[in-house]
Structure 1
Amino acid sequence: MLLAIDAGNTNVIFAIFDGDELKTRWRIATDPQRTADEYVVWLRQLLDLNGLDVDAIDAVIISTVVPRALHNLTVLAEKYFRTTPLVAGRGDAKWGVALDVEQPDSVGADRVLNIIAAHETYKQDVIIIDFGTATTFDVADYDGAYKGGVIAPGINLSLDALVGKTAQLPRIALEAPDDDNVIGTTTETQMLIGIFWGYIAMIEGLVARTKAQIGRPTKVIATGGLSILFDDHTDVFDHIEADLTLRGLLILYQRATNI
């Protein structure tokens, strides 16, 4: 079985693949100082709870946008799974796709993995919206080449900034409003409307402008933990692929090992 690890700015996701099947996935808060020993205690308990044998893991691939987290994750693979991990974008796991931007080395690993997975499925121009710590909009053409994109503050970051930089605004739960009303009558509803519908307007506006610039039929793919929050309130998404980045890791592993 393959252990695929995606270390993001907020969470590290551990996923188990048995062939092409995603068996399960777990999240833990990103902490570059967390040791391999700490990881494995947590991971062994979750594997056991899911009836999975730790000794069945015979391959590891790691993607990270937090460089300081890579060392301990590598030690985890070598010490406890007795394997040298593949690292996305390096060595045998090089991307294999064109990064047609001015600074290709600065493109986050998760964004390239999303492009790889989306192109494998759709084989046409795509816009991928990833709702994470930041919200990213990435464009790939029909050949799978990365053409660029947009980086915007994630919706939680926006809410945190609004509350943190004001004296009297309360912290509110992030959720979809009960209706389509955009005139709030309380401070809390006004904040929720501003954050939620303001975010919808940003998404729809950027997608419309991006499609116009591409000028060809384009699929819009949403991914990331918060993507389902917006799905019932806009028709801008063609598909929601919750595990797009993990699928990209699997594809990269299969290409690197000729499986």
Structure 2
Amino acid sequence: MKRSSGVIAVDVGNTAVKLSLRPQGADANPAFAMNLESSCRSFALDRPRWDESIADWIRDQDCGETSLAPQEWRIASVNRRASDQLCKQVERSFPNATLRPISYRDVPMSIEIDSPDKVGIDRLLSAYAARNRYAVPLVVIDAGSAVTVDLVDASGCFVGGAILPGLNLQTTALTMGTAALPTIDWTNADPLTIPGRNTVQAIRLGVLTSVTASIDRLIAHYDCGFDGATPQRVVILCGGDAPVISPHIKHEHVMHPHLVCQGLLDLG
């Protein structure tokens, strides 16, 4: 009997690499699915020798009951340079590992957009993972460097969506284009001040409102395309900035982290 592989799901983004693990032999273990949160780790791309840190972490995990050997690395990337660097590190550190770059052809769902090969693989995997866990239709929001607001229709088909700059991209654009503006710490959980009484408060209010109001407006636009007065759709929110924007989205939604990695682990 062929030995099942340990799967390392890798979401290579613009600012960080996120990993989730499924140990060898855990394919059908429901307890593992419940513990996905504890198996996830994020590595910032501005961290020195981040690729070596990933290899060290995998070595630490690959022991005892959590054996990953033989390893299959499923890699979804929107950052070619970072994924190339990681693949070289994997080849050096784990010469017996299998590298499996994921494309839209690997995602078993209908994709009804103009150029499936050009859509971000992270968007497709998030939609796929959400469809596997919630009733359709779905609105899937991924709040990262960019914010994507995508629609899965009532037949379970990915039909596209919208892309807008995320919190950090918007604040970076402000600081680059305007003199003497301060840096904004989006981990600050202080409530919004309306109206803002200083520059930091004003930027936080303006940028956060622009993102969340756009999300609410897009959901309303999508709702107009459903049959019936009250669309029975679910809104799913994931991504690194999800905890920041969630309290300010008016539409009811479900927070579900690590959807991209879950989509990778769902693949056959």
TM-score range, shorter chain: 0.7 to 0.9
Range with bigger deviation, 125-134 or 12-21? 12-21
Q: Deviation per CA, 1:88-137, whole angstroms, max 9, x where unpaired?
A: 127xx722222101111111110110111011111311111101110001
Q: Deviation per CA, 1:9-59, whole angstroms, max 9, x where unpaired?
A: 11111221232522522222348xx7xxx73x4234334666846963422
Gaps in structure 1 of 5+ consecutive residues: none
Instruction: Report the Cα distance in structure 1 between the residues aligned to 2:80 and 2:61, rounded to whole angstroms.
Output: 30
Gaps in structure 2 of 5+ consecutive residues: 1-5
Deviation of residue 169 (structure 1)? Answer: 2.2
1:104 corresponding residue in structure 2 = 116
2:102 corresponding residue in structure 1 = 88
**Alignment check: 8 A CA contact 1:4 1:16 kept:** yes
1:13 aligns with 2:18: yes
Range with bigger deviation, 198-207 or 65-74? 65-74
Deviation of residue 79 (structure 1)? Answer: 4.4
Correspondences of 1:1-259 after superposition (within 5 Å): 1-18=6-23, 19=26, 21=32, 22=36, 23-30=38-45, 39=51, 41-47=52-58, 52=63, 56-58=68-70, 59-81=72-94, 82-89=96-103, 94-174=106-186, 175-179=188-192, 181-215=193-227, 216-252=231-267, 255=268
Q: Which amino acid aligns with 1:8?
A: G
Deviation of residue 84 (structure 1)? Answer: 2.1
Q: Which amino acid aligns with 2:10?
A: I
* Count of residue pairs the alignment pairs up: 245
Instruction: Report the Cα distance in structure 2 between the residues aligned to 1:241 and 1:76, rounded to whole angstroms.
Output: 30
Instruction: Report the Cα distance in structure 2 between the residues aligned to 1:43 and 1:30, rounded to whole angstroms.
Output: 11
Instruction: Report the Cα distance in structure 1 between the residues aligned to 2:185 and 2:7, rounded to whole angstroms.
Output: 36
Q: Which amino acid aligns with 1:15?
A: S
* SS of structure 1 residue aligned to 2:75: strand
Deviation of residue 145 (structure 1)? Answer: 1.1
Deviation of residue 146 (structure 1)? Answer: 0.8
**Alignment check: 8 A CA contact 2:175 2:183 kept:** yes
Instruction: Report the Cα distance in structure 1 between the residues aligned to 2:168 and 2:82, rounded to whole angstroms.
Output: 23
Instruction: Report the Cα distance in structure 2 between the residues aligned to 1:115 and 1:47, rounded to whole angstroms.
Output: 27
RMSD: 2.6
* SS of structure 2 residue aligned to 1:5: strand
* SS of structure 2 residue aligned to 1:115: helix
> Identity, % of aligned pairs?
28
